Amino acid sequence: MQEAKTIDYNEKQVQIIETAERLFAAKGFEGTSVRDIAQEAGINIAMISYYFGSKEKLIEAIFAYRISYTRLTILNVINDEAMSPTEKLERIIDSYIDKMMKNQCFYRLMAQERSILEVQNISELIYDSKARNMEMVKKILQEGQKKGEFRKNIDVALLMATMIGTSNHFTSSQAFYRRYNNLKDMSDEDFQKYLKKKLGTYLKTLFKSLLTVQ
């Protein structure tokens, strides 16, 4: 059984990471200065240097911080022997949607991936994260195949791209979806709940049709 671990940042480091994440998502990496981050977080510039060293190291910390929780979620699901393979995939879908809705700034950063690939280590962090996540999901699929729940010859990369791409598009197009479906009078809180349920139901139904033995 694999051990699930996260990166252990203190409260002040998390505050700096979350502030920088918001600013990078809104203004871009190049358009955000260390001074901007310090002012927004209400701290001294020297504190950012002390904890992270540079703006480049800070954006690496953002990715490492968010990625570690994604890995933790999937590992915890894999290690839960009480769930069937189908239930594990459904739990991953729910967790991914919940994380994406709560951390929309980070996923806007992910959408800017090409513009930050030159930052030291970011491209490797992204590649390693995607590769590890796919390998863990592959284990769930293999478990389901052994139990006769899932069909053979499943393309894991396409399956993950379907989940991530659909969730990204759905989340980034909220304003359009709200207007198109005449939901402008719904409160923001209710609309977020509605989106999560709608997207989760859709992806689970889609995965079932793609994976289930006919």
Which pLDDT tens digit goes with each residue over 95-106?
Answer: 889 888 888 888
3-state secondary structure of 74: helix
Of 5-14, 21-30, 49-58, which range is least confident? Answer: 5-14
What was the pLDDT predicted at 155? 94
Asked whether residue 96 is assigned to any structural domain, the reply reads yes
Nearest to 149 by CA among 207, 94, 92: 207
Rounded CA gap, 26 and 126, in Å?
20
How many Cβ atoms from other residues are within 10 Å of residue 5's Cβ? 10
What was the pLDDT predicted at 4? 43
Please check the confidence at residue 1 and state whether its pLDDT lies above 50: no
Mean pLDDT of 104-128: 73
What was the pLDDT predicted at 29? 85
Asked whether residue 124 is assigned to any structural domain, the reply reads yes
Asked whether residue 150 is assigned to any structural domain, the reply reads yes
Mean pLDDT of the chain: 87
Asked whether residue 42 is assigned to any structural domain, the reply reads no
Please check the confidence at residue 5 and state whether its pLDDT lies above 50: no
Mean pLDDT of 32-47: 94
pLDDT band, very low/low/confident/very high, at 2 (cuts 50, 70, 90)? very low
What was the pLDDT predicted at 25? 87
pLDDT band, very low/low/confident/very high, at 126 (cuts 50, 70, 90)? confident
Rounded CA gap, 200 and 90, in Å?
8
Asked whether residue 64 is assigned to any structural domain, the reply reads yes
Residue 76 token pair: 């915890």
CATH code where residue 182 lies: 1.10.357.10
- Residue, of 213 and 207, whose pLDDT is higher: 207
3-state secondary structure of 150: strand
* Count of domains observed in the chain: 1
> CA torsion angle for 25, 29, 34, 39 (degrees, to 10)?
-20
Asked whether residue 193 is assigned to any structural domain, the reply reads yes
The domain in which residue 205 lies consists of 55-211
Asked whether residue 18 is assigned to any structural domain, the reply reads no
| 189-211 pLDDT per residue, tens | 999 999 999 999 999 999 999 99
Half-sphere exposure (CA, 13 Å, Cβ side) for 28? 6
| 151-190 pLDDT per residue, tens | 999 999 999 999 988 988 888 888 899 999 999 899 999 9
Please check whether residue 123 is in contact with residue 39, taking contact to mean a CB–CB distance below 8 angstroms.
no
Measure Cα distances from 136 to 19, 153, 156, 196 in Å: 31, 17, 10, 24
Asked whether residue 174 is assigned to any structural domain, the reply reads yes
Residue 144 token pair: 């389901």
